[in-house]
Amino acid sequence: MGRWSSSDPADVAWRREQMSANNDIEGVRRDPQADQLMARLDAEGKTPAQKRDALRGYFAQKA
């Protein structure tokens, strides 16, 4: 399994870094509140599934 599909926390973190770099290249603005949410979820030790659910809820609220 490669880094692009692995559930290993190090690979997930690597993909997040790649996403951030790609967004910077494309000029996509960051959402500071989403970044704060992710930092809090990381600090709380949430699973990738829990993080996904939290982000979906966050962005659904904004829509």
Question: Residue 12: what pLDDT?
Answer: 85
pLDDT in tens, 31-43: 999 999 999 999 9
Cα–Cα distance for residue pair 62/49, rounded to 1 Å: 20
pLDDT in tens, 1-20: 688 889 888 998 899 899 99
Question: Residue 4: what pLDDT?
Answer: 86
Query: Rg of the chain over CA atoms, in angstroms?
Result: 12
Helices 32-43 and 48-62, packing angle to 10 deg: 150
